[in-house]
Amino acid sequence: MTFKTIIEPFRIKVVEPIRHTSRRERHTALRQAGYNLFMLKAEDVLIDLLTDSGTGAMSSEQWSAIMRGDESYAGARSFYRFEAAVKEITSFKHIIPTHQGRAAERILASVVLKPGDIVPNNTHFDTTRANIEQAGATALDLPIPEGRRPELPHPFKGNIDLEALVRTLDENPGRVPLAFITVTNNSGGGQPVSMANLRAASEICRARAVPLFLDCCRFAENSWFIKTREPGYAERTPLEIAQEMFRYADGATMSAKKDGMANIGGFLALNDDAMAQACRNQLILTEGFPTYGGLAGYDLEALAVGFHEALDEDYLHYRIRSVAYLGERLTAAGIPIVQPPGGHAIYLDARAMLPHIPQHQYPAWALSLVLYLEGGVRSVEIGSVMFGLQPDGSERPAAMELVRLAFPRRVYTQSHVDYLAEVLLYVNGLKERIVGMRIMEAPPVLRHFTARLEPLGGDLLA
């Protein structure tokens, strides 16, 4: 007999209490935080879905591996274990550890890009975009048209628009030093990229001698979607699928705080010898020696175990199913979300949910605040506060106004998800009363992290 219920495929050995607060306490906390969820104290949050980055629970195997950490400055055993794990999955020649994903992005951008260059991607993540723009280049998002339509289901909505990629490369000879594909496409809704799309993008880039890099933070989740959705892959293991994905690329940047299943870490991996040497030189300048790259030996050990745990079928089944389960509850209640549910997160479509709030009053930001006020749930806006400010200082509405509810790995159980559904349904009942926001103070780049805002009309609910 095969039973239907999908369970969390782990027992809990260590627990961390979470704290209920009153609505009044949360109201005060929001005011003190300048109506910015990044500025809250984490202990004032009941369920923290701000990010799936570095927030997961490590396994007993990872904690054991930590005790093996070799803290030698150069040539530590821990580096070679880390390198072997990444090489087995990616096959890239040079594996350069970094303290997290954006360090890999910064190093690569500083080595490869010059002002006036263009970098296509299905959708750039905010730090990738910022590092490219910092080098004076343009970060160009080329998702397939379905990728810009939140309500439209598509099995591989993270795909890059291949025609647009060809056009970009052919119309800008010599100005595209590399192309990216982000798996899964975080800013586009956590949506997967198909193997067929990766293969075709790779052929397009290789025919024009443009290196293709994967932003591979969620390579294991992408592998699971290929296994379960793409014809021909059902019998392949997630590891075999990941190995094929990486064969189509010439390099990768990774925030290992996601599918590395650890709390910190990342890498830059690539095949080109000269480029790797230049990157290592940059690494030494700000991250550290090439066999630790800003990480402790014990971090490298935890990652070497984590990359493989992320590819475990029972784990991936439970993870993708937990997110889909919340998606189904919300869809049944008529709450608009990016369809289908993504791998690591549910994305609420705030523009569809709050049509009375114009984009310049930041509907997704306002919705995320009310979720905290009513239920103690922390999410993140992926909309015009995050993406609206242009490099020249002007303001342009983001393509979508989303609230992302990102699931930390192996942290929450089904009862937490049931609670979330209850909070979201309650807030949906209040939606006409949610008011827009205005920005009072903001830094010139990545403003969402520290901006201070205020509700228009004094309170979050009219």
Residues that bind ligand PLP (CB under 6 A): 53, 100-102, 125, 127-128, 182, 186, 215, 217, 255, 257, 266
Residue nearest to ligand PLP (CB): 101
Indicate the pairing of strand 94-98 with strand 179-182.
Answer: unpaired
Q: Where are the alpha helices (DSSP H) in 172-215?
A: 195-207
For residue 431, give the nearest of 364, 376, 379 by alpha carbon.
364
Q: Which of 129/410 has CB closer to ligand PLP?
A: 129
The smaller minimum CB distance to ligand PLP, of residues 108 and 370, is found at: 108
CB of 322 to ligand PLP, least distance (A): 19
Q: Which residue, 102 or 319, is less far from ligand PLP as judged by CB?
A: 102
CB of 52 to ligand PLP, least distance (A): 8
Q: Among residues 100 and 168, whose Cβ is nearest to ligand PLP?
A: 100
Give Cα separations from 408 to 51, 58, 86, 246, 330 (angstroms).
Answer: 7, 11, 22, 25, 19
The dihedral of CA 190, 194, 198, 201: what is its sign?
negative
Q: How far is the CB of 117 from ligand PLP (least distance, A)?
A: 19
Closest to ligand PLP by CB, 215 vs 230, is 215
Q: Residue 30 or 132: which CB sits closer to ligand PLP?
A: 132
CB of 182 to ligand PLP, least distance (A): 5
Neighbour-count burial for 423-442, b at 16+ CB within 10 Å, e otherwise = bbeebbeebeebbbbebeeb
Distance of alpha carbon 265 from alpha carbon 151, whole angstroms: 34
Q: What is the smallest separation between the CB atom of 295 and ligand PLP, expressed in angstroms?
A: 12
Three-state DSSP string of 40-73: CCHHHCCEECCCCCCCCCCCHHHHHHHCCCCCCC
Please give the structure tokens belonging to residue 145: 């048209």
Residue 124 Cβ vs ligand PLP, minimum distance, rounded to whole Å: 8
Minimum CB separation of residue 303 from ligand PLP in Å reads: 12
Q: Residue 156: in which H helix or E strand, if any?
A: none
Nearest distance from residue 211's CB to ligand PLP, in Å?
18
CB of 25 to ligand PLP, least distance (A): 29
Nearer to ligand PLP, 217 or 453 (CB): 217
The answer to whether the beta carbons of residues 299 and 264 sit under 8 Å apart is yes
Angle at 264 between CA 259 and CA 269, to 5 degrees: 65
Stretch (H or E) spanning 450: none
Strands 47-48, 179-182: parallel, antiparallel or unpaired by DSSP?
Answer: unpaired
* Of residues 342 and 375, the one with the C-beta less far from ligand PLP: 342
What is the rounded CA–CA span in Å between residue 26 and residue 11? 32
Residue 292 or 423 having the CB closest to ligand PLP: 292
Q: Tell me the C-alpha distance between 34 and 405, whole Å.
A: 21
